[in-house]
Structure formats: structure tokens, C-alpha cells
Amino acid sequence: MSPGINDAVRAAMRPSAADLEPYDPAFLPASINLSANENGYGMPDDVQAHVEAALAKVVANRYPQPLSDALRSELAAWHGVDPDQVMVGNGGDELLFNLLLAFGGRDHALVNLPPTFSMYRLYAQLLETAVVDVPRDPDSFAVDVDALVTAARAASLVIVTSPNNPTGDLFPIGDTRRLCEACPGIVLLDEAYVEFAPEGSTAAPLLPEFENLAILHTLSKAFCLAGARIGYVLGSPSVVSALATVRQPYSVNVLSQAAALEVVRDRMSFSATIEEIEAERERLAGGLRQLVGLGVRVWPSAANFLLVRVPGAHEVHRQLRDERSILVRDFSATPGLDGCLRMTVGTPQENDAVLSALAEILKGGSR
Ligand code: PMP
């Protein structure tokens, strides 16, 4: 039960919301914030200058374009689809909510692959949608594709995260094909982190083949716009129209549309930092593997974060936060993620700091 709601207010609430906990991103001020998978390298200077110039010209006394027309066209050209195959949202989160609004509800089922991004389940519960879990392998986190395909046959929505948050693994395109063939409903590939994965990891080549495939992207991760809240779905015109039916018309404000347009036009300027983050991910993973003698395990990742299992994870998280001002994400209380922390790949200095702090804490060292 969420704190701070009195009985009368709770009694008036939508029943499916009354027992839910509000989402807690567990943000606290910290010198090194590796908790939310943002791009800590910041925007390249040329892009920053273009964004600032565009923001200076924004006219805010008129409502925004409801469907972010200019941005949508730019995104469509980038991904080689028609503009009516793109839906822009106030962050990927809004689009996920709208997907559940459009394709969830009573007598509808979401197929979910835990452990994964917690918002899918939360939105499904809120919108009275049954959640059918197909759990990942407890050791490797691999998806049981046969079980998934079987569950998908009765689903109105399947969400597969690739790379998955927080486990970092990719879902192969061949399996996406099987899924789209089997599922009478919508198959959403959440590719929020795909820019950090090897070339060819996206399911986009399947879009012309399957009307029930949709792909979620965000500008919050690789493209440094977490604060502006811009995500987008690529899909068939039918799926995009279904999302248009349920959305709030002006959810994407003029400032965010203008900033995102510049970022998308300048997307190639991000390649260098994306490559650096990928290289740092491998260096950080190598450093963590050196701590195997202290009981550390790290999983391979195609995203901008690593999942790590450490002895006494909850206490390690606390010490990192309270004694070193380093914030990582504590997943140790999440089913299937016993002892696990997730750390965003930071700058080389941040990664060095987290590696040495972790080694000291695990050796029982004090400062
Ligand atoms: N999908 C996944 C897998 C995520 O991890 C996130 C952000 N944590 C999102 C979608 C939503 O991102 P945003 O709302 O910032 O676009």
C-alpha cells in the first residue's frame, strides 16, 4: 500500500490503482550517478549549440503540433519508414502506457519476460490487464522462446526488451519473427538501448513484413535527452493509429519537440560517445571480472549498463551511496535478481571510481 493516502481517498480510487506503489526511481543527489542509464558524457558541443539556437526560436503561446509532425518526418526518414508509421511520445514511458491503454484492459493479456523493466507490469495492473509471465532462465536470463511463443498465441500484447533492462541481453531477430507469426496481438520490441548494441541488432528489418510488430525507441539514453522526455514507436499505420486514439493530444511540448528535432538531425555527432561508452562497458566489465575472487559476477551486456551480483548487495549499495556518493541501482529485492546491482557505464573516471570503491567495500576496507 502506498503511504500517505488516507482511507477515504483510497476508497475513492480506481480499484486497480488503490493497492499499487508509486514508482520510486530511488534518486538521491550523488557525486557519481550511475543509477538511471542516462548518457553521462553529455551532449556534443555542436549539438548543444543547435539545440540552444532552436529553443531560442520556440513560440510557446500556441499549442504544439499534436503528432510532432516535423520530428516525426525526420524520424521516419532516419528509419526508412513513412511518417504515419511513427508515433512520438512524452518519453518511452508514455508510449508504453498508451500501448497498455490501447491493447490492454479486461479480457486482454500482456506477456511479460521477468526480470525486466518494471513499468510494463505496473501499467498492465493499473489498466486491469492480465500479466502472463514467462520467466527468464534464473542463471543466464535467456528467454524460453518456446514458452514465449506458446503464451503469445493468447496475448493482445507481448513486450520483449532488447537489450533487456536490467540483464543486458539481446533478443534474436529470428525469434522476433517466430513471435510475430504466432501472436494475434501486438509484439512490442522495446529497443530503448539498441544504439549501444552491435550493428544489426534492431528488429526494424521485420517492420515491412509484420503489421503487428512495433518498436520502441527513446532519445533518453544514447541521445542525451532524458530530461526532455522524447520516445517514439515505429510500427504499421494501424498500430500508430491505435496509439493516436488513446493519447492525450498535446503531451509532447514545443520545447521538447524543437530540441529533439535538432538531436535527430545531428544524430551522427553522438557516434563517438556511443562508441566510447561501448568500450568503457567492456573495460568496466573486465574490471568487475577481476573481482571474481571477492564473489563478484557480471553478465555480458549490449546496453549502457552492467548487471552485477555481489555479496551483501543491499549493504554494498548503501555504502557506495552514503560513504562514497556513488549511486547505482539496487535490484537485490527484485524477484530473480538476488544480490544484483545495476550500474550505468559512466565516464572513465566514474568507472574507475566505482571499481575501486567496490573492491574496497568488498574487502571490508574503510576510508
Ligand atoms: N524502456 C526501457 C527498457 C527503459 O529502461 C526505459 C527507461 N528506463 C524506458 C523504456 C523509458 O525511457 P524514457 O521514458 O526515458 O523514454
Q: pLDDT (tens digit, 9 = 90+) per residue, 122-141?
A: 999 999 999 999 999 999 99
**Residue where one domain finishes, among candidates 233, 268, 303:** 268
165 Cβ below 6 A of ligand 1: yes
Of residues 239, 204, 261, the one with CA closest to residue 87: 239
pLDDT tens digits, one per residue of 86-100: 999 999 999 999 999
pTM check: above 0.95 = yes
Of residues 66, 82, 128, 78, the one with CA closest to residue 238: 82
**Residue where one domain finishes, among candidates 247, 268, 289:** 268
Is the residue at 188 inside a domain?
yes
Rounded distance, CA 354 to CA 185, Å? Answer: 43
Answer yes or no: do 93 and 237 share one domain. Answer: yes
Is the residue at 2 inside a domain?
no
92 Cβ below 6 A of ligand 1: yes
pLDDT tens digits, one per residue of 36-73: 999 999 999 999 999 999 999 999 999 999 999 999 99
Is the residue at 283 inside a domain?
yes
CA atoms within 13 A of residue 130's CA, in its CB half-sphere: 11
Q: Whose CA is nearest to atom 2 of ligand 1?
A: 192
190 Cβ below 6 A of ligand 1: yes
226 Cβ below 6 A of ligand 1: yes
Is the residue at 1 inside a domain?
no
Answer yes or no: do 148 and 20 share one domain. Answer: no
Is the residue at 290 inside a domain?
yes
Q: Whose CA is nearest to atom 1 of ligand 1?
A: 192
Answer yes or no: do 132 and 28 share one domain. Answer: no
pLDDT tens digits, one per residue of 112-121: 999 999 999 9
CATH of the domain at 216: 3.40.640.10
Q: Are strands 109-112 and 130-133 parallel, antiparallel or unpaired?
A: parallel
Of residues 320, 351, 342, the one with CA closest to residue 118: 342
Answer yes or no: do 74 and 90 share one domain. Answer: yes
Answer yes or no: do 30 and 145 share one domain. Answer: no
Parent domain of 152: 45-268
E-only strand ranges, the chain: 32-33, 86-90, 109-112, 130-133, 157-161, 186-190, 213-218, 230-235, 297-298, 305-309, 326-327, 329-330, 340-344
Rounded distance, CA 135 to CA 119, Å? Answer: 16
Count of domains observed in the chain? 2
**Residue where one domain finishes, among candidates 268, 283, 299:** 268
E-only strand ranges, 23-85: 32-33
Would the pLDDT of 14 be above 80?
yes
* 217 Cα to the center of ligand 1, angstroms: 8
Rounded distance, CA 310 to CA 358, Å? Answer: 9
